[in-house]
Amino acid sequence: MGASLAWALARRGVSGVVVVDLDLAGVYASSELNAGGARATWWQPVNIETCRLTLDFFRSHADAFSFAERGYLWLYDDAALWHKAREKRALQNAAGLDVEVLGVGDVAERFPVLDRNLDELVGATFSPRDGLVNPNAVRAWYRAEAERCGVRFLNRHYVAGVTTAVASGLSGPLRRVESVDVAEVRRGQPTDDDGTVRDILTTHRVPRDVLVAESRIACDVIVNCLGAWSPIFSAKIGVRDVTEPVRRQIALVDVHAGDVAAGVDLAGLGMIVDPSGLYLHPEGPHVLAGYSIPDEPPGFDFGYDGDTFFEAEIWPRLAHRASSFERCGHVRGWAGLYAVTPDCSGIAGRVGGFANLYEAHSFTGRGVMQSYAVGRAMAALIDTGAFEDADLTALARDRFADPARLVPEDLHI
């Protein structure tokens, strides 16, 4: 999100853009660690529109981003949710998504890999214009284009402090961010073999023995794009964020060739979302499968539970729905962070009470798939005072004070 916004600002002719990031290599970045799904099939208009615009951009650079338009199959076993999904289809298809409604028989015919316990289902939707993308390539592309336009990226830099002052505005006195104090930390290995970056990210302290230099950056405008780490920055300026970092785990699964039913082509599948909460798609020679543990406590946790997670959460759900996974192997896995808000929608806009503080963060697992549209919209807001291309007004932070203004997203996984 930060790289997309930096590029969008530079394209508008804004100079002097600086991106401060402790982990430009992306060892712990959510955009590096996610499942690679890209969909516009949501239930809230602002999420549909920002994802639709971003997927159109991915489609126009399909080779660069390895964007594969293979669709999302969403299975339902709850009658109330199934009814709502069919209602929301009109909204989705008005945006050009061409979402189909499938009966259980249609699922069995079109997706023969799903051959178990289909009698539990009440229906499914298939969104053919959704697909899979390489999020690492997207982030790298934004950065390269931004750098080509003159944006500076400061790697291994961490905002240690913020200086603010009172400024007068049309609505009365406003605070203004004058500058940020930036700590440069020891480079170490790009893979963070010594744990320096992880320790700073999880403790939010810069040990003196890894400190290289300190400097100050004057700010005409500052934007918080820190995702799961947004509350840490906000706290430095006295702003409370409702965001919580929550661990999400993903496993790579080896499906033994001899156990796959004849004629089943796993490689041709897009994303499949099971009613159990399991989601999966092909990933090279393997299958990527994820599951969000419902009672996962919030916190900056990057630990992967390994075989325990695979055997307790992934394998049983795979085998329950597909005999092809009756015998399969755990290859490896990893954990990353969702930035979760109370309504599972992002936070974007100007921060109230400040003259020059903006934010675009906490998109609850879909930052990559909203990145292009949100970057462009935020750049327009900063440059002209108004949104263009996509209206992000619904994502303003003050919505959390009014339950009627929440943007609840039920298709969150």
Domain ranges of the chain: 2-31+136-243+342-405
CA dihedral 393, 100, 61, 148 (to 10 degrees): 20
Tokens of 38: 């890209």
Name which of 294, 286, 363 is nearest 325 in CA terms: 286
Q: Sign of dihedral through CA atoms 36, 39, 41, 42?
A: positive
Which residues share a beta bridge with 180?
162, 217
Domain 2-31+136-243+342-405 CATH superfamily: FAD/NAD(P)-binding domain (3.50.50.60)
- CA-CA distance, 327 to 48, in Å (whole number)? 38
| Distances, alpha carbon 264 to alpha carbons 114, 115, 192, 255, 367, in Å | 10, 11, 40, 12, 32
What's the whole-model pTM score?
Answer: 0.95
3-class secondary structure, 203: helix
CA distance 2 to 224: 8
Q: What's the distance, CA 92 to chain centroid?
A: 20
Q: Give the pLDDT score at 167.
A: 77
Q: For residue range 372-408, what is the model confidence (pLDDT) as tens digits?
A: 999 999 999 999 999 999 999 999 999 999 999 999 9
Structural tokens at position 152: 């500076």
Q: What's the pLDDT score for residue 260?
A: 47
pLDDT at 202: 87
DSSP state of 221: S
pLDDT at 188: 77
Amino acid at 96: G
pLDDT at residue 33, as a whole number: 93
CA distance 196 to 201: 9
Encode 12-28: b = buried (16+ Cβ within 10 Å), e = exposed. Answer: eebeebebbbbbbbbbb
What letter would DSSP give residue 297? P
Nearest of 145, 158, 152, 120 to residue 57 by alpha carbon: 145
Interatomic CA distance for residues 171 and 241, integer angstroms: 23
Among candidates 75, 73, 67, which has minimal Cα distance to 38? 67
Cα dihedral sign, 179-185-189-191: negative
Q: Is the dihedral of CA 25, 226, 396, 378 positive or negative?
A: negative
Q: Which pLDDT score, from 0 to 100, does residue 412 have?
A: 84
The residues, any chain, with a CB within 8 Å of residue 209's CB and separated by 6 or more, are none
pLDDT tens, residue order, the chain (413 aa): 999 999 999 999 999 999 999 999 899 999 989 999 999 999 999 999 999 999 999 999 999 999 999 999 999 999 999 999 999 999 999 999 999 999 999 999 999 999 999 999 999 999 999 999 999 999 999 999 999 999 999 999 999 999 999 977 666 789 999 999 999 998 777 788 888 899 998 888 888 999 999 999 999 999 999 999 999 999 999 999 999 999 999 999 998 644 444 445 677 899 999 999 999 999 988 999 999 999 999 999 999 999 999 999 999 999 999 998 988 999 999 999 999 999 999 999 999 999 999 999 999 999 999 999 999 999 999 999 999 999 999 999 999 999 999 999 988 88
